[in-house]
């Protein structure tokens, strides 16, 4: 809760800070990496720095947190904090890094605002930062404590590799040493850390797409981005027997076996969380009413198609509808041309899970909201920095 002294200051200055924060964050990251270049080795993605998504995600989280403190005194945006904390812990963010971030962020704010940054404004926004920081630190300590080991990464060996869809590959790993293994949950992800051509380690998060509850196996599905930095290394350089670093499993997009009607809407490689969830639901004999909706370019580009269809066939309460932008429509998949339409799939008590490109999720989420589904029952996963937080 904001102090009585800071509340009116934040309320008054929130519009200008929210407007300026997107300009402030690039300066912050330039300062941070100039002082601590080691943070680009295995923690921050330089690709996300170049395309600006990391800056957008940070700006969005600060603006959302401050806005929430003003509009909902005495509470905190728990969903947003949990999402950020899961990302942080998968990267190994530590408590001692928060003062470093504070210094360079507030130096950037001071440079941007100049004389407009009075001591009262600086103190109030310092309070906002540390309220958010301490809330994240508390959650992150709890997430670290839930793991079967105290490490951030452990070595895992590639034991199986299979193509799926177009330009996507299924990779299965087994432990390469005796590090205790945390059993994952469907919908969770792991961070993958690998050295790039110049030797600098980079990290990406991938949802576990198969064998989720198998304690001695991690399976991910990776779509090739020919213009990317990371996925070409996995596709072209990682061979059977190769060893890479994987984090413990994190993520709060977990689907229960039972509950109210479930609507899973995905597009493209965004089907990885749903593929894992459907497989786990089938393994547990779930009778939950499940509506699976998937959109893709055409039937041949759909990754993990066989796995998903097999799981759906084992779920008595599951139905499937598909949409394809081109090509002949397949039989038996309730296939339609064009873009996904949720109207017929939604009920008042539905829980909706989304995963796919941001334009797809924006369109589908809008449909769900217009159909009367409360925002708190619409869940989503973003691959990479969560630039959707402000929504």
Indicate the DSSP class of residue 96: G
Is residue 242 exposed (0-12), middle (13-18) or buried (19+ Cβ within 10 Å)?
middle
Q: Per the residue annotation, which of 11, 68, 98, 160 is the catalytic one?
A: 98
What is the number of other CB atoms lying within 10 angstroms of the CB of residue 104?
19
- Beta carbons of 152 and 144 less than 8 angstroms apart: no
Category of 356 on φ-ψ map: left (φ > 0), alpha (ψ -120 to 50) or beta: left
Query: How many Å apart are CA 242 and CA 156, to the nearest integer?
Result: 8
Give the closest residue to 186 by CA, choosing from 267, 262, 249. 249
Query: How many Å apart are CA 302 and CA 268, to the nearest integer?
Result: 6
Q: Which tokens belong to 157?
A: 């060996």
Q: Per the residue annotation, which of 140, 153, 245, 381 is the catalytic one?
A: 140
Query: Between 53-71 and 7-35, two packed helices, what is the crossing angle to 10 degrees?
Result: 160
- Beta carbons of 311 and 280 less than 8 angstroms apart: no
Respond yes or no: is residue 140 known to be catalytic.
yes
Do you know the residue count of the chain?
Answer: 391
Q: Which tokens belong to 270?
A: 């965004």
Alpha carbon of residue 43 to chain centroid: 15
- Beta carbons of 187 and 251 less than 8 angstroms apart: yes
C-alpha triplet 62, 65, 69: angle, nearest 5°: 140
Which residues are CB-contacts of 292 (< 8 A; sequence separation ≥ 6)? 264, 274, 278, 308, 312, 318, 319, 320, 321
Q: Which tokens belong to 35?
A: 């002082």
The helix (run of H) or strand (run of E) holding residue 175 is strand 168-175
Strands 290-296 and 318-324, bridge-based pairing: parallel
Query: How many Å apart are CA 315 and CA 328, to the nearest integer?
Result: 27
Q: Which residues are catalytic?
A: 98, 140
């Amino acid at each position: 809760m904001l102090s009585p002294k800071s509340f009116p200051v934040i309320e008054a200055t929130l519009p200008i800070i929210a407007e300026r924060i997107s300009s402030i964050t690039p300066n912050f990251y330039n300062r941070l990496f100039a002082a601590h270049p080691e943070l680009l080795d295995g923690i921050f993605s330089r690709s996300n720095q170049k395309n600006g998504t990391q800056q957008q995600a940070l700006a969005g989280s600060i603006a959302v947190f401050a806005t929430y403190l003003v509009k909902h005194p005495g509470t905190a945006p728990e969903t947003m904090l949990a999402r950020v904390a899961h990302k942080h812990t998968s990267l190994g963010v530590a408590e001692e890094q928060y003062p470093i971030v504070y210094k360079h962020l507030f130096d950037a704010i001071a440079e941007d605002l100049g004389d407009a940054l009075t001591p009262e404004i600086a103190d109030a926004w310092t309070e906002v930062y540390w309220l958010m920081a301490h809330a994240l630190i508390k959650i992150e300590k709890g997430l670290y404590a839930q793991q079967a080991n105290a490490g951030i990464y452990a070595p895992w060996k590639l034991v199986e590799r299979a193509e799926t869809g177009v330009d996507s590959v299924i990779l299965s790993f087994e432990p390469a040493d005796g590090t205790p293994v945390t059993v994952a949950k469907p919908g969770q992800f792991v961070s993958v850390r690998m050295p790039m051509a110049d030797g600098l380690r980079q990290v990406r998060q991938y949802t576990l797409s198969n064998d989720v509850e198998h304690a001695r196996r991690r399976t991910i599905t990776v779509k090739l981005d020919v213009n990317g930095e990371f996925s070409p290394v996995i596709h072209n350089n990682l061979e059977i027997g190769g060893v890479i670093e994987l984090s413990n499993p994190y993520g709060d997009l977990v689907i229960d076996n039972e509950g109210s009607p479930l609507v899973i809407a995905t597009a493209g490689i965004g089907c990885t969380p749903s593929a894992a969830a459907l497989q786990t639901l089938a393994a547990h004999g779930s009778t939950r009413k499940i509506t699976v909706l998937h959109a893709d370019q055409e039937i041949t580009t759909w990754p993990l198609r066989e796995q998903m269809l097999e799981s759906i066939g084992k779920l008595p309460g599951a139905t499937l509808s598909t949409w394809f932008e081109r090509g002949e429509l397949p039989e038996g998949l309730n296939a339609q041309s064009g873009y996904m339409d949720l109207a017929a799939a939604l009920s008042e008590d539905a829980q909706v899970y989304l995963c796919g490109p941001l334009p797809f999720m924006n369109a589908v989420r809008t449909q769900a909201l217009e159909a009367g589904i409360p925002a708190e029952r619409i869940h989503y996963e973003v691959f990479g920095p969560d630039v959707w937080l402000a929504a």
